[in-house]
Amino acid sequence: MNDAVKLAMFGGSRTVGKEDVTKARVGWPVVTEQEHDALRGVLERGLFTSNDAGRGEVSALQQEWAQYVGTRHCAAVSNGTAALELSLAALDIEPGSEVLVPALTFIGSAVPVVQRRLVPVFVDIDPVTFTMDPVAAEKAVTGRTRAILAVHLHGLPCDMRALRALADKHDLYVIEDAAQSQGAEYLGRRTGSLGDINAVSLNAVKNLPTCGEGGLVTTDNEDLYERVVLRRQFGEDLRAGRERDYISRVLAGNEKMSAVQAAFTRCQLSRLDSYSATRDQLVRRFLGRLGSLPGVIVPTCPDDRTHAWHILRLRFDPAAAGFPELPAGQFRSILHRALRAEGVPLQPYQIVPLPGQQALQHLEVPIADFGVSLAVIEDSLTLQRWHLNPNSGPVLDLCATAFEKVWSRLDELAPVGASMNYRAPWHQVMSGAAR
């Protein structure tokens, strides 16, 4: 058998070679002269803190992001988790109240809820969009529910119309977790402007990154905005033009952003739309090739919104691929090995519904309640990072070629998958009782 056809897993040559995967093609964030100049500018000017009297990088970023998403106010903070925590603090929800949180998301969505002494009530996801299922959300509402955390997982805006209707019906706040969806639109409006108060992360891995850590809170409500600003800086009123009085009006820590982070993100923001447009083209071409392989279920984007394509989640259906006897987890597992051997960096994203995380098991919510999340975790893998770079086209093409190669030899893989010693991903973290 010639080496190009023999699977890398069985000693053939890799489809995606190390030399193909250069920083220029897949590095993230993309750092240009613009960023170098901006950061040099910060160092030269010496205005390093966020209390810049409206004259520095942090104030400029706040203005530009508010304008970009179309909200009246924006407060820059230290990271996305802090942005969520301050959003919840600003809403001043009574401790012990319930907040609806999707069962499948990053832990950073739920931790601020718990830290505010609120109760996260987990809601299963939709199997196609991977975001909160509005029907399940409605069933989860109780007399103690006060808010819905709308997470635009993987970059796809969640079903905001349904969630907003639910919120209106039960008098709930909507808080957006737009950490993965910068630039994405829902009914023509940008995420980060769709809730009562909205949080974004600027972590270096996100679609709108900084060179480190950062976050942004947006709202149209002036009171909420003032409360966030007060709480990001020890409860002190540090408004422009005011002399510092050292009076802490509320108990609060320090969750401010620095000028260096803001300057870097301003450069990225100026290129966000052009990167998003290029990524949309590249990703759709890539997913088009994968989607024509039987048994690969590629992510889609409903017509009423755009997708930021932060994470690409692929589901695998053994029956559609011609192996009806093969359990989904074993099919996904053997594909993982074969495709990684070809040089495709597939990885899981979350191995357990959130209530199964060790840190949240004290809530005693059985993960068996989240059948869709479990199925998705079991039969899917994700691609992260590479496709964020607008020059990743040639690498994505090679990745698609690797999939086609593996699909041409599924007959060799299926028996290996069938005979493997398999345990579901969440067994790594679940104790016997919690399972």
Ligand X SMILES: *Cc1c(COP(=O)(O)O)cnc(C)c1O
**Which 215-274 residues touch ligand X, going by CB under 6 A?**
215
Q: Which of 57, 85, 124, 177 binds ligand X (CB under 6 A)?
A: 177
Sheet holding 311-316, edge to edge: 296-297, 311-316, 380-384
Structure tokens of 229? 């600003």
Q: Which is nearer to ligand X, 205 or 418 (CB)?
A: 205
DSSP 333-361: HHHHHHHHHTT---B-S-SS-GGGSGGGG
For residues 309 and 322, what is the distance between their CA atoms, to the nearest angstrom? 29
Q: Which is nearer to ligand X, 42 or 179 (CB)?
A: 179
As measured in angstroms, the least distance from the Cβ of 108 to ligand X is 3
Q: Which is nearer to ligand X, 205 or 328 (CB)?
A: 205
Q: Which is nearer to ligand X, 15 or 219 (CB)?
A: 219
As measured in angstroms, the least distance from the Cβ of 214 to ligand X is 7
79 scored as a contact of ligand X (CB under 6 A): yes
From 138, 141, 136, 151, select the one nearest 119 (Cα to Cα): 141
For residues 109 and 381, what is the distance between their CA atoms, to the nearest angstrom? 21
As measured in angstroms, the least distance from the Cβ of 202 to ligand X is 7
Q: Which is nearer to ligand X, 79 or 357 (CB)?
A: 79
201 scored as a contact of ligand X (CB under 6 A): yes
First to last CA, the chain: 45
Classify 189 as helix, strand or coil: strand
CB-CB contact of 164 with 174 (8 Å): yes
As measured in angstroms, the least distance from the Cβ of 133 to ligand X is 17
108 scored as a contact of ligand X (CB under 6 A): yes
As measured in angstroms, the least distance from the Cβ of 107 to ligand X is 8
For residues 226 and 89, what is the distance between their CA atoms, to the nearest angstrom? 12
29 scored as a contact of ligand X (CB under 6 A): no
As measured in angstroms, the least distance from the Cβ of 81 to ligand X is 3
28 scored as a contact of ligand X (CB under 6 A): no
Q: Which of 151, 216, 296, 334 binds ligand X (CB under 6 A)?
A: 151
CB-CB contact of 310 with 180 (8 Å): yes
Stretch that binds ligand X, among 103-111, 113-121, 337-345, 420-428 (CB under 6 A): 103-111
Sheet holding 173-177, edge to edge: 73-77, 215-219, 197-201, 173-177, 145-151, 98-102, 119-123
Stretch that binds ligand X, among 1-9, 101-109, 132-140, 270-278 (CB under 6 A): 101-109
Q: Which is nearer to ligand X, 198 or 203 (CB)?
A: 203
As measured in angstroms, the least distance from the Cβ of 120 to ligand X is 13
DSSP 152-176: -GGG----HHHHHHHHHHHT-EEEE
105 scored as a contact of ligand X (CB under 6 A): yes
80 scored as a contact of ligand X (CB under 6 A): yes
Q: Which of 90, 93, 118, 179 binds ligand X (CB under 6 A)?
A: 179
As measured in angstroms, the least distance from the Cβ of 157 to ligand X is 13
Amino acid identity of residue 212, one-letter, is G
As measured in angstroms, the least distance from the Cβ of 215 to ligand X is 5
Q: Which is nearer to ligand X, 203 or 330 (CB)?
A: 203
For residues 19 and 293, what is the distance between their CA atoms, to the nearest angstrom? 27
Size, binding site for ligand X by CB under 6 A = 14
Count the Cβ atoms, other than its own, within 10 Å of residue 82: 27
Q: What's the full length of the chain, in residues?
A: 435
181 scored as a contact of ligand X (CB under 6 A): no
Residues 6+ apart with CB under 8 A from 124: 102, 103, 133, 136, 369, 370, 371, 372, 373
Dihedral, 302, 305, 306, 309 alpha carbons, nearest 10: -60
120 scored as a contact of ligand X (CB under 6 A): no
CB-CB contact of 224 with 204 (8 Å): no
As measured in angstroms, the least distance from the Cβ of 90 to ligand X is 17
Q: Which is nearer to ligand X, 180 or 219 (CB)?
A: 180
As measured in angstroms, the least distance from the Cβ of 61 to ligand X is 15
Classify 283 as helix, strand or coil: helix
Residue identified by tokens 């850590």 is 213
Residues near ligand X, by CB under 6 A: 79-81, 105-106, 108-109, 151, 177, 179-180, 201, 203, 215
